Structures are given as structure tokens and as C-alpha cells.
Structure 1
């Protein structure tokens, strides 16, 4: 004769089985279905906000990749991870700092609290100045300039055979997180970011939007605006 479990026992059993599922041990179809439903809902929310963020930086990242010998996929994955898809306070307007770079940018900065490590595993909070930009594009181009340093030579396309080599090079160098490469690789695979690593993707992005990169404004504008800015810059230099 099978003994019926009490409500408390059934609740405890469900919790144990749920934990078993997390660590990779099989559980009942009911628990699996429940967790899948939650996971699908969470993924949908993240995907919507992340997809929108990807659309906002794709054109710039693609062109940067071709210009700076970098993987646009890695650049975009880092931006997604470091800025929480543009949702962090530092990444939001009016700062647009997608990579948490400290210091100032053309004299512009914002002071925020951040955590530091004393080298012995002890963390403490300090106020630090972070670079403030006028747009996502400025943040992306500035970070690309940082990666152009020989310190990050292992990230360059010309020194790697795949984006996985680049994410591996960033681990322990840009970030101390031992799982940094795995996190970036997962983002790249999930959102098919390698599609932006080709020259055709960069050209397509610019052509589709009908705009060109305007270095004077740190953003994309139409060709007429770029021509006006170029003329202004030339005149200013001659005066």
C-alpha cells in the first residue's frame, strides 16, 4: 500500500526535485514543464530588450569591426554583457558608457560608486569617475581605440582564427571573471552576432539606414550633413 505524502512533504519534494534539475539531474515532467515556462517567459523579455539594443549598435559595431581589425560580434557581446543591454545607469542617457571605462572623454565624466578589490579578495566601494559620451557610437569607437593597444593584440582578427580566440584573450585581461569568454560566446551564439563580422554586413547596415558615420558629431548623419561638417572643419582649421 502506497502512503500518501502530506502537503508539506510534497512541497519539500518539489523543492528538492527543482534543485536536482538545476544541477543537471532529471526530475518529473511537471517540474520540467513549469521551469520551461518560466525560462521561456524570462528569455522573451531579455530577447526583446537585447534585440532592440543590438539594432541600435549593429551598424556602428559592424563598421568598427572592419576599420579596427576587430570582431563586431565580440564588441557587441561585450556591450550587451557590460551594460545589461544598455539598461545600466552608466550606459543610459546622458552617459552612454557601454563598457564601464573610467576617466573622462573629451573632458566629460560622471562620478558613480563602484566596487574595487584590494588584491586579497576583499572588496570595498569607492566613488570613481567614468567616461561620459554623447552617444552609443562614441562609446563604441572609444572602446575600439582602447582595443587597438598592443595590450589587446590577442583580440585582433589578424591575430586570431575565430571570435572564440578573441573572447579567450579578453578573459583574465579585460575581465577577471574566469567565465567571461563562455558568457560572451553564449551571447554571440544566442543572437547570431557573427552575422555582423563580415564586410557586407557593415556595408549593408550603412546602406540600409541611408546614413554615414560622421566623426565630427560622433554619430550617423546623412551625406549632406557630413559634407557641411567637413566644410566647417576645413574652414575652422584655415582660420
Structure 2
């Protein structure tokens, strides 16, 4: 790293329109003064007094770089046939590719700029239609936000036919499931009451069984007595 000095700067001349400056500094080691001037002609600095210029050549190989070689060298001989072939290929490419492309671009430019008024009118009409649709959508979105107390910065999703169909299918399936569950819940108390009623009837029949047996015995005895009396009456 170098050393920074506080210098006395002054203008001492011009090289054409470029000023020449002089810098007078004090050495930080020996307290001596040295002066440096700019050289715009050779684009360098010149040590005038009090010091000597030190020239150091930078070797790229010693600093991990690559050596600089002569890139000019001897010019290779040009093959006239190869040069002619390149020229012919360039001409064919220009004729078969570049020219048709430029012509198509020119035709397109003429179509777009032939009638600026009609194009501007069409563009403005399209802008008005898009603006009308956008304002209507913003109005509908505002109503939805006000209805559900949503923040004004919330952006609502665009209407999608596929999403609407999926939502309808999900709603239909959920409603059918709910109705089925409600019907099952309605049937459950009825079955319980029927079961309890049948159980009570069984208990009543069991308790009434001895009375029915006595009644049957009395009816049979009365029938036997009547048949015996009928036989006696027939024998007389």
C-alpha cells in the first residue's frame, strides 16, 4: 500500500486546453520536500525535484498470471479460394435470409403505420372497453368485501369456470351427506320406540297368561256340560 500526502497544489501551465498541475509534498521519513508535475502530453507524472522516479516492471508470471506474447506476429497467408467461398456464402445468406427478413419487417411496419388515425381509434376503443370491465369488476369486488367485512387491500380471485364447477360438486356432495345423516338420525328414535313397545307387549302377555288359561278351562267345562245335557235330552 502507498502513502498519502498532503500536497500543495498549483497550476503552472497548459497543454492545449489541459492544465498542468504541480504537487509539492513533504516526505514522512526525512522531512524533505519533493515536487511532482503532471505531463498531459505523455499521460504520466514527472518527478521535478527532491525525489527520483522508480521504474518497476511487472512480470505477470511471477504474480500468478500469464505471460504476454506477441499477438501480431506474422500475418498468415490468405487462401484466395477460401476468401471467395466466404464471400459467396455471405452473399447467399444476405440474398436468401437477410433481404426477405427486411422486406417482411418493412411490410409489417407499413401495415401498422399506414393509417395512424384508425389504429389510434381502435386502440382507444379497446382501452375504454377494458376500463369499463375493470371498473365493473372493482365495483363487484367492493360489494363482496363490504358484505363479508374484508380488507380493502385484499385482491379477490378471478372467476374460473372450472373452479365454480368444482365448488358446486363439493357443495352437492356435502348436502347429500348431510341429508343422509339427518334421515338416519330421524329413523333412530322410531326404532327405539318400536322396540320398547314390543317389549312392553311381551311383558303384558306374560303377565296375562294365567288368566287366559283359567278362562279357557271354564269355557271347555261349560261346553262339556252343555253337550252332556243335550245327550240326556235326546235319550228321553
TM range (shorter): under 0.3
Q: Which has the larger radius of gyration?
A: 2
After TM superposition, the score normalised by the length of structure 1 is 0.14
After TM superposition, the score normalised by the length of structure 2 is 0.14
